[in-house]
Amino acid sequence: MPEINDTRERLLKATAAVIDKGGESAVRIRDITKACTITAPSIYHFFGSREGLIDAAQAYRFSRGQRELGLAFSTALYKCRSKKDLTELAHRFLDLMFAPERRATRNSRLNVLGNAIYRPELSKELAVAQDLSNKIVGDPLRYAQAKGWVRDDFNPEMFSAWLNGVVNSRRLIEMGGNHPLADEWDVIAKRSICLAIGIAEPPRKKARTTKKRK
């Protein structure tokens, strides 16, 4: 039923927004129901309790960026007509995934993972969310395998899970702001990803030089 899915999605978005701003302690059922123009029983229907809502919203926070990029990648890949098209598409999305502008998204994901260590229910929610994200990326990659554009000796869903881990790990060089060697990290990461699926790595960007005045 679309209306039920829409209500659940609105609840997740509203709760995730509250957590983004004030943390889990800021989540109040009254405020969420008001923001979504629903009654409290709807929350208990979908999530069982306030804690269930928070766990589901945390999983939503963890996977929302993956899904957005994954769906955009999937749509674009099915429009590719050659391995060259696929390679150019992959390079564009690698730039997007590792962009400094997405640092806040990576930080949010690690925050959720940290919370899940001692919370089994949250871990279960994350597992379900990640499986869905893996499928979103895995299906188009399987199509690319059938076309002979990428290697066929790897599991697309597990590649998606590994890729997510690589993206999240960029946070290790972002703790103190923009690392002076971040570009070198990106080169290694992109090279590894391209080698794993069997496409050419992105051309290395040349350092900018300034012309001397005569």
| Separation of CA 57 from chain center | 15
Tell me: do 84 and 30 sit in the same domain. no
pLDDT score, position 181: 95
Q: Copy the structure tokens of residue 187.
A: 């080169």
- Tally the domains of the chain: 2
Tell me: do 7 and 66 sit in the same domain. no
Tell me: do 13 and 96 sit in the same domain. no
Tell me: do 103 and 118 sit in the same domain. yes
pLDDT score, position 194: 98
Do residues 65 and 109 lie in contact, with contact meaning Cβ atoms separated by under 8 Å? yes
pLDDT score, position 170: 95
pLDDT score, position 176: 86
Q: 3-class secondary structure for 14-56?
A: HHHHHHHHHCHHHCCHHHHHHHHCCCHHHHHHHHCCHHHHHHH
pLDDT score, position 207: 57
Tell me: do 122 and 190 sit in the same domain. yes
Give the pLDDT means over successive 10-residue stretches in the chain (214 positions): 68 94 94 92 92 94 91 97 98 94 90 92 94 96 98 98 95 90 96 98 70 45
207 domain-assigned: no
CATH (domain of 128): 1.10.357.10
Q: Which domain holds residue 111?
A: 54-197
